[in-house]
Chain A
Amino acid sequence: MKALSLAVCAALFLTGCGHKASDQGGDVVKIGLAAPLTGPQAQLGQDMANGARLAVDEINAGHPQIGGKPVTFRLLAEDDQADPKTATNVAQRLVDDGVAAVIGHMNSGTTIPASRIYYQAGIAQISPSATAVKYTHQGFDTAFRVMANDAQQGTVLGDFAVKTLGAHRIAIIDDRTAYGQGLADQFERTVKALGADVVDREYTTDHSTDFMAILTNIKAKKPDLVFFGGMDPQAGPMIRQMRQLGISAKFLGGDGVRTPQFITLAGPAAEGAYASTPGLPIGKMPKGPEFQAKYTAKYGPIQQYAPYAYDAVYVLAGAMEKAGSADPKTFLPVLRQTDYQGVTGPIRFDANGDLTQGAITLYQVQKGAWVPLQTFQKH
């Protein structure tokens, strides 16, 4: 027992030392990156890591200075396996390693539990991709994101359904996950406020493949639009079964649906489906084509989140330079005042750490591919 507590003391002492070194703005500023680097979402996670790497390499090549002293940024990439438990372990490890800030995590389900650890350690966190509203609404002054959140997405989807698609009778399905339910609730509030009828609200799970019973119910209510809050493994068979049952209503979903996998799984039934994604298509981003050329030369095609991770690093480095310190206590208030023209668009944070001008783009499946229709962005 005594040996154990001695070991714990020693460990605490050592990590304490490590932390101090980076606080004092020595030559190395450590930035953590947490994302699923292995497993089914590894491609997306690696994409995010590479986006951040590209930014760190570029910044280092420009001989950055913080508070008049030359510094080198170092990226510590950790694998959270898209698993909340692993994510908290990884977060603790990054804190122990003395990072000044963290880019990540990728999934809302990992970002939210990890955010508490960063908050308690007073470390800045920017998620390039977590969209769950809760992440920035826990009262943590350390939590930021550079992508529009689900509430913003749900609102835009509701607007689009009623104003652009002219839907009056709307049926809503969600998969009872935090993401699906949150998106569907915000969508429902928006369409109701715009005077459309929500004729049916049905539920499924994120493991189901049979939706015949709930779709038959929906069919009886004769909707002109079916909204689904959930992911592509459900959306694919769902739209097939809709068409099978002779439901000709339009189909609309969020970013969980706007994937190539949805088109593969739904087959010809996917044609004409609508879905949204936060952010702009890479070709429409202010500095998108330029970024794409740089990134592709080094890492191959962009998957999705690379430009957001890239911007997040620049935003962090900018705040540190301006504050003249890599100590989160000093640069956090400066980070909140960020006004930066990134690859992905203008980055300014509101009091919660959400983007004030997050863009949302609507897509439709046309001839077997997602085609961007229009982008909504507050000005």
Chain B
Amino acid sequence: MIQIENLTKQYGAVRAIDNLTMTVEPGSIFGFLGPNGAGKTTTLRILTGLAKPTSGSAQVAGVNLSTDARNLPRHIGFLPEEPVFYPWMTPREFLDYIGRLHGLSISDRAARVKELLELVNLTDAGKRRIGGFSRGMRQRLGLAAALVHRPEVLLLDEPVSALDPAGRKDVLELIEQLSGQCTILMSTHILADVERVCNMVGIITRGRLIVQSPREELLNRYVQPVFELDSDDVPSIQRWAELLKKQTWITSVNIDGNITRIVVNDLVQARKELLASAMSQQIVPRRYEEMRLSLEDVFLQLVEKESVQ
């Protein structure tokens, strides 16, 4: 549904997107993940036709961006990071206006506006001026506006980042409801959101895609066993960490305050030796736990690895 090939975008000396190639399959909810400034927004701006790539090509819903960009708006719905509206309009009027722009008939518009206001829970505010709306209400209205013409592809730029937990839950649920109706590409720097709604994940950093795979596969491939040990005896722990780093069955040791995280590559050996080795250093653990890496750890690992290279 979305095909990006060797896309590059240069802003002066800065390369915002660097030879990006990726594919989003029809029907998927694709989580476009990366730290701030990784090139997510630039990519979305190119996919919506707002920005032109320096080189490379992209196809969205069968529309070639370099040759046919003017037909793009009929096929896509876009929710910018900070949706803005004309403050003097009401949500009803705004959605109706969008419907008119897309050539919907009067009756179709009336039905669609009603349906969408209900979907995003703005029916009661339907006749109020948008000028007085909260951030969360504007986000929901933006989502409704992106859906008016039933687009095949929905592009969402950080749809929940600026919202409070309740608002975030609402919008994520809405996105989940939309799966099956259209292909969704949503950018975010928050992993919990991706873990919750996306079935595909692409990780981008410094304008380059470093991983693209189904969420489950990503978790299975990168998730390694990890042990956490919690103790106040920092000097002993540091000594212990130096010792551990020499072991072949240890991937990494990370000390963060009182908590030591040890990623291992041989689970059997680690279970046998790790705690014993801590004891031999006279470390008294307050907590010792075996756990699995979360997507967040995978992400940090990948991004770190990329920046080292």
Asked if A and B bind, the verdict is no
Chain B residues proximal to chain A, CB less than 8 Å = none
Chain A residues proximal to chain B, CB less than 8 Å = none
